[in-house]
Chain A
């Protein structure tokens, strides 16, 4: 694995390898041995053009636990705010000897450009690009699902995952549809028609406009963040109506099967797409997703940087 730009880059074998590696790394970390040595002397740059405290910290923790040197390069307070181009920033990072660049960018495809334009030689990890993809989020979601529904082993064959909300603008949804299919799960997208991408009927998933009709049979419900600003662009009338039709409240949650889990990539709008009671309920695995994020990102960095076999 040279780069991780899209969840589509991962074959079935790749995806299982990442999840199994994450499991091993999580176990090693839990044994309390402190930092693991495999990426000692390697440099990982977190290049963040968007505010994203949780993803940046998650990648930073992952790299540090593998003993890599971490450089955080955020768009604010750096040369980027003075108008430096992505290319020049990339050339600078290359000159500084970055072995891997973790990039979050508001432009869809920016990680592809970084990886393929010939600006840098190191690996590139997409930490979220515009409304395109967020492959490590999909990996941590799969890892979480596997822990809960498959005892942390194998794939997700036969698991029914319902993804609800602003699919149109969601990089999380795109990556999840791709990866969950690779792992054998069945995906259903639920959203008002305005928040589904053009051509979604050609995607490898079911599509519904009706949340209530979609709860039964779901093994997991993943709620997507819906920005309140979207209602100004007439995607839906107002937050209240959205919440009534597409929000996950306790009544709806109680209709899920006993073993079903509730997920959210964060940050949540409590009271909008998810009620506080649901977010804090026993079924919610939202905090666990965050913890798993570090393990999965350790695995991705480890595999991309070709860490030595001695973990």
Chain B
């Protein structure tokens, strides 16, 4: 196996050094190191390979939007070395057979660890538990269960799911959306939805479910993960729950760190997403929550869609945005350049903590000799104008199109193998 030396790179917030990657592990760290190939890391930051707890790879069923392979390529371009593939495929990932298929496709692609997420309920219908134990025991070794896209809104069923997954150290990742309060909802309910005449998705529909679920998790002594938290009220509830010792973790998406709901005034469905983009106060609250650790992780909710599902009128469009390729730059702009977080915190929120929540033992490890060589090398001095036509994902629905984002992934190493080199896909 070819060995690589990354020259003059800063590990997180540290001073520049060399890192040698050999035989799948970090072999040496120090000055003046050599290897078969050299990667110029001067001015760049080395972070542990990013881990996404929330990715839609669309396969099986919507291979026109994304495949495990195309999504793995997009993930590598974004600096990820592990992604969790959400269960809302067709067929739904609610059996050992489907999760093993996705897992195997991930192995064949060989660019990131693809960790399938299992559905909580059969067919995501919210009525009967899926075969959670069979999925956990399968080759895919599922530990994260979610009906994402839909909320497990039946309180009794949610309670049972939280209890049941304790048997194999699983976690239920809840898409917090009270269905009756969000029927036909199109965007954040606020001043702008009233003006635009689009049906509102009120913050309380998210907050009410989170409040219920942290109390349920407390009652049954289970761990709970909250997907794509988007409101200031939700941050408050998580903060309160943690202060009470409740075992809850939460994620925020890059787009909820970046955008406010006024972009919807364009009626351009590229900005249609669920949960919806919120207000400035919400954006400030989720940034503060991520900085102080109330929100544990950033997860992309990468949701590719073919162009016909976005090149249409607002209400006809699909919910969701691409996120894998832009995530690190967005976090850099919204959290690091603003002074809210340092690189150690970025590594925690985008690698260490998501690996822990997903129980992915080989990911999110410290950059030290002997660790698996899952690394991303990021150049914070670069900047890129996002061009939707140049996405690596099979879909082009990036909300950042036409905007300039700071920083660039120079290289990604997955198990010692460069999946990205010189800012280009190496696969």
Q: Which residues of A contact B (CB under 8 A)?
A: 85-87, 105-110, 112-113, 116-117, 129-133, 171, 174, 197-200, 202-203
Task: Give Cα A107 to B315, complex, Å.
Answer: 6
Q: Which residues of B contact A (CB under 8 A)?
A: 186, 189-200, 202, 266-268, 308, 311-316
Task: Give Cα A129 to B267, complex, Å.
Answer: 12
Instruction: Count chain A CB atoms within 10 A of each CB in B193, B194, B315 and give the residue with the most.
Output: B194
The 7 closest A-B pairs by CB, nearest first: A109-B267, A132-B197, A197-B194, A199-B191, A131-B197, A107-B315, A108-B197
Task: Give Cα A119 to B212, complex, Å.
Answer: 46
Flag if A117 contacts B311 (CB, 8 Å): yes
Query: Nearest chain B CB to A96's CB is how many angstroms away?
Result: 20
A85-B308, A199-B190 known; A109+B313 contact, CB < 8 A: yes
Query: Nearest chain B CB to A75's CB is how many angstroms away?
Result: 13
Flag if B313 contacts A110 (CB, 8 Å): yes
Flag if A129 contacts B308 (CB, 8 Å): no
Flag if B190 contacts A171 (CB, 8 Å): no
List, in ascending order, chain A residues with CB within 8 A of B315's CB.
Answer: 106-108, 130
Query: Nearest chain B CB to A245's CB is how many angstroms away?
Result: 22
Q: A112-B266, A197-B193 are in contact. List 16 more A-B contacts (CB 8 A).
A: A86-B313, A105-B313, A107-B314, A108-B186, A109-B197, A109-B267, A113-B268, A113-B312, A116-B267, A130-B315, A131-B198, A171-B197, A197-B195, A198-B190, A198-B202, A202-B191
Flag if B198 contacts A109 (CB, 8 Å): yes
Flag if B191 contacts A108 (CB, 8 Å): no
Can you list 20 contacts pairing A with B, beta carbon distance less than 8 Å?
A86-B313, A87-B311, A107-B316, A108-B197, A109-B198, A109-B267, A109-B313, A110-B267, A110-B314, A113-B267, A116-B266, A116-B267, A131-B197, A197-B195, A198-B189, A198-B190, A198-B194, A198-B202, A200-B194, A202-B191
Flag if B196 contacts A109 (CB, 8 Å): yes
List, in ascending order, chain B residues with CB within 8 A of A112's CB.
Answer: 266-267
Closest to A49 in B: B313
Q: How many A-B residue pairs have CB under 8 A?
A: 74
* From B191, B195, B267, B311, contact of A174 by CB (8 A): B195
A113-B267, A198-B202, A199-B190 known; A85+B197 contact, CB < 8 A: no
A198-B194, A200-B194 known; A85+B200 contact, CB < 8 A: no
Query: Nearest chain A CB to B204's CB is how many angstroms away?
Result: 11
Flag if B314 contacts A108 (CB, 8 Å): yes
List, in ascending order, chain A residues with CB within 8 A of B266's CB.
Answer: 112, 116
Task: Give Cα A110 to B189, complex, Å.
Answer: 19
Flag if B316 contacts A109 (CB, 8 Å): no
Closest to B186 in A: A108
List, in ascending order, chain B residues with CB within 8 A of A197's CB.
Answer: 193-195
List, in ascending order, chain B residues with CB within 8 A of A202's CB.
Answer: 191
Flag if B198 contacts A108 (CB, 8 Å): yes
* From B195, B197, B199, contact of A129 by CB (8 A): B197
List, in ascending order, chain B residues with CB within 8 A of A85's CB.
Answer: 308, 311-312, 316
List, in ascending order, chain A residues with CB within 8 A of B186's CB.
Answer: 108
Instruction: Count chain A CB atoms within 10 A of each CB in B191, B196, B315 and give the residue with the most.
Output: B196
List, in ascending order, chain B residues with CB within 8 A of A203's CB.
Answer: 194
Query: Nearest chain A CB to B177's CB is how many angstroms away?
Result: 17
Flag if A130 contacts B197 (CB, 8 Å): yes
Query: Nearest chain B CB to A84's CB is how many angstroms away?
Result: 11
A87-B312, A113-B267, A198-B202 known; A108+B196 contact, CB < 8 A: yes
Task: Give Cα A108 to B193, complex, Å.
Answer: 10
* From B190, B196, B198, B313, contact of A113 by CB (8 A): B313
List, in ascending order, chain B residues with CB within 8 A of A87's CB.
Answer: 311-312
Query: Nearest chain A CB to B314's CB is how many angstroms away?
Result: 5
